[in-house]
Amino acid sequence: MPRQARHAPGGIIYHVLNRAAGRKELFAKPGDYMAFMHVRRWVEHRRRVGHGSVYQGRYKSFPTEDDAHFTTVARYVERNPVRAKLVSRAESWPWSSAGQKASAESPAIAICSWPVARRTDWVEWVNQPQAPAEEAALRHCLSHGRPYGSEMWTVKMEAKLALRPPGRIGRPKKTKKNR
pLDDT of residue 53: 56
What residue type is assigned to position 126 of the chain? V
Cα(79)–Cα(76) distance, integer angstroms? 5
What integer best gives the mean pLDDT of the chain?
78
Report the pLDDT averaged over residues 149-175: 80
Per-residue pLDDT reduced to its tens digit, 96-130:
777 675 455 555 656 667 888 888 898 999 999 99
**Which of the given ranges, 44-53, 69-78, 138-147, has the highest pLDDT on average?**
69-78
pLDDT of residue 152: 94
pLDDT of residue 21: 67
Per DSSP (E only), the strands in 65-176 are: none
Three-state DSSP state, 23: helix
pTM higher than 0.75 for the full model? Answer: no
Report strand pairing: 13-20 vs 55-64.
antiparallel
Name the more confident of 14 and 69. Answer: 69
% of the chain surpassing 70 pLDDT: 67
% of the chain surpassing 90 pLDDT: 27
- pLDDT band at residue 3 using 50, 70 and 90 as cut-offs: low
Cα(38)–Cα(24) distance, integer angstroms? 21
